[in-house]
Amino acid sequence: MKRYLTILAAMLAGTLALTAQTVNGVKVESYTMERSGDFVIVDMNIDLSDLEVKGTEAVVLTPHIVRDSQSVALKSVGVYGRNRHFYYLRNEDKAPTNNKDLTFRRNKTPNMVEYHAVVPFEEWMDGCQLVFERADCGCNNSVVGKEGNILINRFPLEPYKPELIYIRPQAEKTKTRQISGRAYVDFPVNKMAINPSYRNNVVELAKITGTIDSVKADSDITITKLTIKGFASPESPFKNNERLAKGRTEALKKYVENLYHFGEGFITTSYEAEDWAGLERFVENSQLENRDAILEIIRSSEQPDRKEQLIMGKYPADYKYLLINCYPALRHSDYTIEYNVRQYNDVKDIERIMTTAPQKLSLAEFYILAGTYESGSAELNELWEIAVRMYPNDEVANFNAANSAMDKGDYERAIKYLDKAGNSPMVSYSRGCVEVLREDYVAALPYLEDAEKQGVKEATPVIEGISSHWKVTQHKANR
C-alpha cells in the first residue's frame, strides 16, 4: 500500500530536480519542475546574495517553459535599484514586473528567495525545457542586457520502457497432429454398399481420399490413425437407422482399406444412429414458424421415435421442410486423420516450413527461429503472429503474441491475447507492462506488485523505473 501511494503521488505530480545553476551573479540553488494534474509547478531557491544592482537599474529574473517556437513566461522576480524603485512607484504602468510577480528594493532584498509558480499544462509542453533568464533594465525601461541558462533540458523524462519477456514453450517429444473433414456419401434407400458413381459420391469420396493423399505425399509426415464416424438422419424407426449408420460406416471403412491397404486396426469406426444434435443446431438457426416448440421436443427426454412422431404430427409443414432442407445433411461421415510430423532443428528448415506449411511447426520450433531474429524486427513480430494463428488457444502462443503486439504499440491487441494467456505471474507482469507502455503507471502497479510477489524478478526494476520516471531525488548544491 505504501508503494502504491508513492506511485499515485508521483503520477499526480511528476517531478524533476537538478543541481544549482548560476546566471551572472544569480545562483539558482535548487529547482523542481513537476506536473500535478492539469498544472505545471515550478519551485526553486534563488540565491541573490551576490547580486549587484545599480540605483538606476533593475534586474528581472524570469523562468520560461520553452519548446520549439512556443513558450510561456512564469512569474518574475524583480530587484530594483533605489532610483528605479521610486520611479516605478510613481509610474506603475512602466514597471517590468507587476503584482503577480515578486518585487524587491535592492537594500531590502533577502539573500534567498523561495520561488513558486503554477501555470496550466498544455500538450505542447510535453518534452519542454525550463529556461532561467536574467534581464537588466536601464533608464527609460530599456533592456541593456539579457542572459539565460537552461535549467532542465527535457521535461518530463522519456517514458520508461519495460523489458518484454517471451516464454520458451515446452518441446513436444512427438509432434502429433490431426486433420478432420466431413463427407456426404449417398446410398440408395436401405442399402449399405458403396457405389462411387451414385449421385455425388465421386466428389464426396474424393474428400476423404484427397485428404489422405495430401498427408501421405508429405515426406515429413507419418500417418498413424484414421477414424470414421457415421451418422443417419432421424426419419424412419431408430433401429433401422442404427443398422444403416453402422453398416454404411463399415462399408466406407472397407472402401478406404481396399484403396490404401492400411494395416489391421489402422482404421477405427463408430456410429450414431440419428444426428439429433445436428437437427437441433439447424432448427435453432432457422426461421421455422414453430421453431421453439420443435426445439422443446428435440430437447425433451422422449425416445427418438416418439420425438419424430410428435414433430411430424403437430407440425407437418415444418417437418416436410426439415425432410427436404435438413435431413440430407444429417446423413454424413466424419473422418479424422492423425499423423506425426518430424522434428525440425535447423533454423533454415524452420524458416522454410514457416512460410510454406506453418502448421507443421511446434511452438518450440517457432521459438528457436525467433532467437535468430532481431528484437523488435518486423520478421520477429510476424513470426509470433503466425505462431498464434497456428495455436489460437494455446496460452504460451497468446502470451508471446501479446508481447509482440506491445512491441508494435498495439496495446488493445496485446490485451486480447493476454485474455487467452491464462493467469500466471508472467501474465500479471505483462499486463503491467501494457499499462506502463500506455503510461498509466497507477494501473500498472497492482499487476507488477502481484508479479513481484510471485517471484517475477523482472517486475522490480519496472516498479523502480516508473517511480524514477516521475520523481528524481532532489539535490541541493553546496555553497
**Residues 230-266: pLDDT tens digits?**
999 999 899 999 999 999 999 999 999 999 999 889 9
- pLDDT at position 3 over 60: no
Q: Are residues 368 and 451 in the same domain?
A: yes
Give the chain's domain count: 3
Q: Are residues 23 and 133 in the same domain?
A: yes
Comparing 202-206, 260-264, 469-473, the range with the smallest average pLDDT is 469-473
In tens, the pLDDT along 361-414 reads: 999 999 999 999 998 899 999 999 999 999 999 999 999 999 999 999 999 999
Q: Are residues 26 and 129 in the same domain?
A: yes
**From CA 128, how far away is CA 154, in angstroms rounded?**
5
Q: Is residue 165 part of a domain?
A: no
In tens, the pLDDT along 408-447 reads: 999 999 999 999 999 999 999 999 999 999 988 888 999 9
Q: Which residues of 365-377 are buried (b: 16+ CB within 10 A; e: fewer)?
A: bbbbbbeebeeee
Q: Which three cell numbers stand for residue 173?
A: 517429444
Q: Is residue 5 part of a domain?
A: no
Q: Are residues 255 and 327 in the same domain?
A: yes
Range of the domain at 70: 19-155
Question: How many percent of the chain have pLDDT more than 70?
Answer: 92
Q: Is residue 328 part of a domain?
A: yes
Q: Which of 155, 187, 214 is the last residue of a domain?
A: 155
This prediction has a pTM of 0.67
Q: Are residues 212 and 130 in the same domain?
A: no
Q: Is residue 12 part of a domain?
A: no
Q: Average pLDDT of 142-147? A: 84
Q: Are residues 29 and 149 in the same domain?
A: yes
In tens, the pLDDT along 9-34 reads: 444 444 444 445 777 889 988 888 88
- Please state whether the peptide bond connecting residue 156 to the residue before it is cis, i.e. omega within 30 degrees of 0: yes
Q: Is residue 423 part of a domain?
A: yes
**Average pLDDT taken over every residue of the chain:** 89
Q: Are residues 330 and 388 in the same domain?
A: no
Q: Are residues 203 and 128 in the same domain?
A: no
**From CA 61, how far away is CA 102, in angstroms rounded?**
10
